[in-house]
Each structure stands twice: as structure tokens, then as C-alpha cells.
Structure 1
Amino acid sequence: MKKLAKVHFLYLLAIAIGTGIYAFGFVAFNMANHLAQGGVAGLSLISYALWHIDPSYVQLLINIPLLILGYRFLGRRTFIYTIWGIVSLAVWIWIIQRISFTINIGNDTLIAALLAGVFSGSGIGLVFRFGGTTGGTDILAKLFQIKKGIPVGRMLFIFESCILALSLSYVDLKHMMYTLIASFISMQMINLIQNGGYTVRGMLIITNHHVEVAKTIIEEIGRSATYLHGEGAYSGTEKEVLYVVLNPSEIQEVKQILSIIDPNAFASVINVHEVVGDFAPKRGRFKDLKK
């Protein structure tokens, strides 16, 4: 129990750090440079620009009904982490607004957009990595998926587009273009932080020489492989399928192995979102088998 409590504490601490990073970028670059955002944060910026309402209050008020709607499908732990993420973000935004500081970027809106994207993406990526969320339109999109069968990605795109369109009430087209740059950078940072800073590929290999291929991959590249039992849907022939997790740079090395051992092998490369367990970014190098 003590170990579990310690893990929960560390996760909550990481989420609080993530929301703090996000809040700093939100106040220092979005609010200070008239850069819009999507989601609930974007709505809070609209209310701040038009009616001077503190964004921290707006985000809390909008997220309360969304949390009530999402209680049933979020799950107990995710629900608690989401409440923590929403509250800590609002507190950070409230505090940072009241701290006097100046960041000299020479009135360069492009730099402001880049920094806004880096801070928001890094902060949200850290929150996601430790199982939290900051609520918002994610909850609403998930609800539409459950009730109406509409994909989450499509609903998020609709919500974000509508909020950005509403943001044109206080930003011009020039600043909207910078907002899109910030959003792109933010998404890249979220993916980078969530994936732990490295990209991984999975490779499915169908070959008549599975033992030899697996042995060579293990010995020459330093990656393990897993046998999966397969059967051709058309031919009915039983075959062994190899599954290997690799770095992108190692894909070409496996292709070279296949070209030598079994040129007729079938291989499929897939993107792997995350690897949990014993996977080191660097293991070994393929030695030229033709030597």
C-alpha cells in the first residue's frame, strides 16, 4: 500500500509540474501575444479578451459540467487525475498572472508562437504521460463517441475548428496563422514527451526460414523476437510469424537480413505508440552478412 501511495503521489506531482509548465506558456506567450488556442483554454482566452474575465475561473467553470458528464466513462483513477489536472492548471494560471515578470523576445510573434507551442506541448505531454488530462473538449468528444458513434478525432477537429473560428473575434488572420504554428509545435512536443523521446517501430515478418531469421536478428542486431502462429486465409498454409520491436534505423538492417536469408519473405512495418518493458533505444549493430 505504501508503495502504491508513493506511485500515486509521484504521478500527481508530475501532473502538477506538467500543468505548471503549460500554464506558464499560456500566460507568458498566448495571453501576452494575442495567440489563440483550441479547447476550453481557447474559450477562456476569448472571454479574457472580450470581457476581461480571468481564464482560470472560466476553465474551472466550463470543466465542472464536463466532468459530471464524463464521470461514468473516465474510470476512477483517470477521473481523480483529471480533477487534479484541471484544478492545478487553474491554480497555476491564477498564480502566474499575479507574478510580475518580463520575457524579452523583441515583439517577435513567431518566437512567441514557437515558445507557446513548446511550453504547452511539453506540459500537456507530461500530464498525458502520467495518466492525467486537463479535461476540456476531450471529455465531450469521448461522450459523442459513446452516444453517437462519432470518432473522437473527428469531434475534436470540429470543436477545435469552431473555437478557433470564434477566436477571430479578437485576433486577426496574422495572429491566427501564428496560432496554427503554435498548435503544430504543441502536437509534436506532446508526441515526443508521451513516447519518451524516441520513436519505435514494430515489424511483422512471414517467412519459411523463421528460425534462421530470428537467430540472426538476435545475434546481429541484439533484438529479441516473438513467434506467432499464423495461417494463410487463402492457402490455408500454417506459417510462423515473427514480431520484432526496433528502432527506425534498424528496419533497413532487418530488410537486409531478409534479402539474404529469404528474399520471398513478407514484412510489414507498423508504428508503435509506446513500449512498456525491457526495450533499450540502442542495442546492437547489424554486421554485413555477405562478408
Structure 2
Amino acid sequence: MYWTEMKKIIIVVIGALLNAIAMNLFLIPANVYASGFAGLAQLLSSLFSLFTPFTISTGILLFILNVPATILAWKKVGKSFTLYSFLSVFLMSFFMEVIPVIKVSPDILLNAVFGGVIGAIGVGITLRYGASTGGMDIIAMVLSRMKDRPVGIYLFILNAAIVITAGYVYGWEKALYTLVALYAATKVVDAIHTKHNKLTALIITKKSDEMKAAIHSKLVRGITILPAKGAFTNENKEMLMIVITRYELYDLERIIKEVDPRAFTNIVETAGVFGLFRKE
């Protein structure tokens, strides 16, 4: 357990470092914007420098923007998820303050692509190990726990506002390169983790009671149990079907390995869910 948590912390550190490198060495020098709260912080920092006598770094603004999101997650999601998310945001803000803003390449397209890809690797590996990078991830988790609302529309509105403002202030060419960075980032996160917010897990095991109890102790999700029989061995087993969010996949994998390492699990991408799907 201690090694698992330590590995998770190491992944969060690496993810935060990669995000900070993407921002300070590629995106910020080229005035190309990231997705979500990072892009919003980047845009606000630029606007402060242009239209006010004050200068506030992107790292500080990113931390400030995530404070209310973290408080919301603490109340609505859970302490473990919130702590790792806050650690990720704090480390990313810290690394952004430590790493100097340097233009690695004068080519804006290279900055957009490499900034988007490197940042997405950081986000993808963080999600893969059951943590988050804060911001829109926290909002997505809160919405999935409260009501089954697609977070994509909120992320689209926020990113659209960032792109339009960047185009108005710096020229529409910058806005188009921002779209390139967002597209590259989305594809990389999808490849590393999963693009679907909902997943269906089909778990075939001979320890269904223990598995059910372990899942319910960690995840507040409904489980459907179906009889199953091995075609080759003729052994009687049971299949547990559970729909989860992508943020809960890491915890579910851990539970299955701990309860029944020999269990066969099939993770299916879920296009939609009808009926009750919430925590409360």
C-alpha cells in the first residue's frame, strides 16, 4: 500500500513537471494557450501585463483559480482525490515559478505541437494513476458525482472563450495555433488514458461477495451480478457489471488486484447511461 501511494505521488510530481515545462518552454513564450484552467490562468496573466500596471505569473494565477475548485472537491468528492489534485496543482504552480520562461524554438507551430503533447503526457499519466491535474478535472468529478451532466460542454465554452480572446488580443493566427495545441493535447490524453468519461467494467470472478464488498467500500456505485460459467473449465462464476467514471478506473483496478488477482475484467467504453448514476 505504501509503495502504491508513493508511486502515485511520484507520478503526480512528474506530471506536474511536464505540464510546467510545456507551459514555460513552449506555450507561454509563443502566446499559444493551453486547455482549461491552465489556459485561463495563462490568458489572465497576459491580460494583466497588457492592460494593468500589475504583473501576475501564470503559476500564481493557476493556483488561485484552483482554490475554490479544491474546496468544492473536498466537500463533494473525497479527501484522497482532492489531496492528490491539490498536490498536482501546487507542484505545477511551483515548477512554473522555478523554471524560467524561455523560447526553445522560434517556430510557433513547433511550440504549439510540442507544448500540447508534453502537457498532455503529464495530464494523461496523472489521470492513469488515479489523480488529476485539478481545474476542469475536479469540476468533471463533482458533476459526475452529483448529476450525470457532460463536462465537455463546459470545457468547450471555456476553451472557446480562451481561443476567441487570444485571437482578439494577439491576432487570429495565435488563436489557430492554440487550436492546434488543444487538438494535439486531446489526442495524446485519449491515447494514454481514455477519452470516455463513462466506462463499464465486466468482472468475472469466483469471489463475487468479497469483490462487491471491496468495491462498495471504495466506490459508491451500483453493481449488477450475473451468473457466468467458464466454457472450457465448466466452473461456475459470477460477473459483476459496474459503470464508473474514468477518474475511478485506477481505484477499481487496485481493488480487483487485491481481492482476486485471477479475475477476468473487460473494460468497455460507455457511450451513454440512462437512469440513476450519481453518488447521492
Are residue 26 (structure 1) and residue 17 (structure 2) matched? no
Of stretches 139-148 and 75-84 in structure 1, the one that deviates more from structure 2 is 139-148
Rounded to whole Å, the distance in 2 between the matches of 1:166 and 1:139 is 24
Rounded to whole Å, the distance in 2 between the matches of 1:89 and 1:31 is 14
2:174 aligned residue: 175
Please state how far the C-alpha of 1:134 moved relative to its aligned partner. 1.6
- Contact (CA 8 Å) 1:129, 1:193: kept in 2 or not? yes
**Aligned pairs (5 A) from 1:40-189:** 40-52=37-49, 53-97=56-100, 103=104, 105=105, 107-144=106-143, 150-189=149-188
Residues 1:102 and 1:41: Cα distance change in structure 2 (over 3 Å) = closer
2:14 aligned residue: 17
Please state how far the C-alpha of 1:76 moved relative to its aligned partner. 2.1
Given residue 63 of structure 2, which amino acid in structure 1 is its aligned partner?
Answer: L
**Number of residue equivalences:** 203
Rounded to whole Å, the distance in 2 between the matches of 1:151 and 1:56 is 28
Given residue 91 of structure 1, which amino acid in structure 2 is its aligned partner?
Answer: F
TM-score (norm 2): 0.63
Please state how far the C-alpha of 1:39 moved relative to its aligned partner. 1.4
Please state how far the C-alpha of 1:171 moved relative to its aligned partner. 2.7
Are residue 5 (structure 1) and residue 2 (structure 2) matched? yes
Rounded to whole Å, the distance in 2 between the matches of 1:147 and 1:5 is 31
Are residue 39 (structure 1) and residue 42 (structure 2) matched? no
Please state how far the C-alpha of 1:140 moved relative to its aligned partner. 3.1
Report the structure number with the largest CA radius of gyration: 1
Given residue 186 of structure 2, which amino acid in structure 1 is its aligned partner?
Answer: M
- What root-mean-square deviation, in Å, do the aligned CA atoms of Structure 1 and Structure 2 show? 3.0
TM-score (norm 1): 0.61
**Aligned pairs (5 A) from 1:257-276:** none
Given residue 44 of structure 1, which amino acid in structure 2 is its aligned partner?
Answer: A
- Contact (CA 8 Å) 2:136, 2:155: kept in 1 or not? yes
Gaps of 5+ in 2: 50-55, 195-200, 202-225, 232-245, 265-280
> Percentage identity across aligned positions?
23
Instruction: Kindly provide the CA deviation profile for residues 7-61 of structure 1, in whole angstroms up to 9, marking residues without a partner as x.
Output: 1111111111111011101111111101022311112111221223101110111
Given residue 68 of structure 2, which amino acid in structure 1 is its aligned partner?
Answer: P
Instruction: Kindly provide the CA deviation profile for residues 245-287 of structure 1, in whole angstroms up to 9, marking residues without a partner as x.
Output: xxxxxxxxxxxxxxxxxxxxxxxxxxxx8895789xxxxxxxx
